[in-house]
Homo-oligomer: A and B are copies of this chain.
């Protein structure tokens, strides 16, 4: 028997309607390319989104068409997050840091019909001008009206807004309709597209606003440093209008001094970014203190925040760090690590240990760890298994790719590619990527655990541990280490340091000192390149 509840669709236009009804006066603050501040309200934004959505339809955009965006975080990009899905099309966020070949690949794979581009990034896109057969128009903003380009059918964003009007009915009528497309950066093979539906984005925003998660509310002012081209700035462009929180968009100004100034000036309460950004901000704030007492949560994800940096923020700057974990395939948020009632009696050091974990699942996300045979493993805090997830905002397949068993289990769970432990009370800890795990003489060695320990050493800035082939043991660990400026250390010293915490068989066979660890376009250690360099003999 079916219930008798309204058939109300969870579409992203509802989020904007809610913001316009209840938070029309709340602000979106953008630091523009020239450093000036642009400030307007959700009410202003609502009217411009309606105009842009109507303009898209007038340009001939059809339901399901893919429309690219190539931009920093700013109010125009935010408008496009609603105008494109609101017009029934799919907003394809293009990673501005991709190699031109990869960028051309994803535009052509998605068959983007239009691309919106931040004027400051026009030169980067122009390099692909003759490789974009599906693109009919490029629409530019943050550029003078008279801007010229060899890109096809150049239009100006503000002309489209000015020539349109607000009399528009949203074209998203089904919550399972596609809304946003985002390609994973993928360290192997071609990037793969994750195609979100409206329902996923609505529910993910709902999830973020839970008091147990980010707890976004009307009193917040949120700074998404994490780019809009990287998993939709972690969904904050949907969570903030839903909660009525002000948004602060940093544009291209991601240097630590600019961020520190924005936080202080705009009284930011929640800031979200990757560890490398917060590492830079920490150094900046130590050398030039500012009043950042406004921050209630420094949200960190994308890769694990070193425990030392969590401690440093809390101890030296009195900033509460909130560790989160997710993936492009998860819209992206899966877990947060907030201490709970059972931790209230712990010491400060132990609390930081908890905060360094990836944490418990948001309501709506299910986690499990399994062994190679696919059997579920116990949550005891020590047993390592492949992490699998399930939920309404998790992908069931990549765009135009047949679902493969390497990504999905037969019973419908997504295989994250991470190896994790989970404590009895549900705190998950990523110990490795399945492909980075070192299998030595039948035992598993966590490359991440070795890296974290090495990076906690005062002389070490970065460390990447990879498996190298070994005739006797199958695989053995090798560590590539970047020393702090002016620091010196030798292999013996660091091995001795690791021996304090690890079993003998877990210690790296070799430590090599390098100038930097190669990174992916989103700033993660690119171990594929490290392995390749090793194979080419560069690390011997």
**Which A residues lie at the B interface, using CB under 8 A?**
1-8, 10, 14-15, 17-18, 21-26, 63-64, 90, 174, 176-179, 194-200, 203, 206-207, 209-212, 215-219, 242-244, 338, 340-342, 360-361, 363-364, 366-367, 379, 390-399, 412, 414, 425-426
Contact = CB atoms under 8 A, between A and B. Distances in A.
Given A6-B414, A206-B206, A219-B341, 5 more contacts: A3-B179, A3-B199, A4-B178, A210-B243, A212-B217
Contact of A426 (B22, B177, B364, B393): B22
Q: What 9 A-B pairs come out closest when comparing CB atoms?
A: A3-B197, A1-B64, A211-B217, A22-B426, A211-B215, A8-B392, A3-B178, A4-B195, A5-B200
Contacts of A364: 10, 14, 18, 206
B394 A5 contact: yes
Contact of A22 (B1, B195, B360, B395): B360
Contacts of A218: 212, 338, 340-341
A441 to B, nearest CB: 34
Nearest to A368: B21
Nearest to A413: B6
B217 A2 contact: no
B426 A194 contact: no
A396 B219 contact: no
Contact of A5 (B174, B196, B210, B379): B196
B425 A390 contact: no
Contact of A211 (B18, B243, B363, B391): B243
Contacts of A176: 2-3, 5
A485 B83 CA distance: 62
A294 B74 CA distance: 42
A1 B210 contact: no
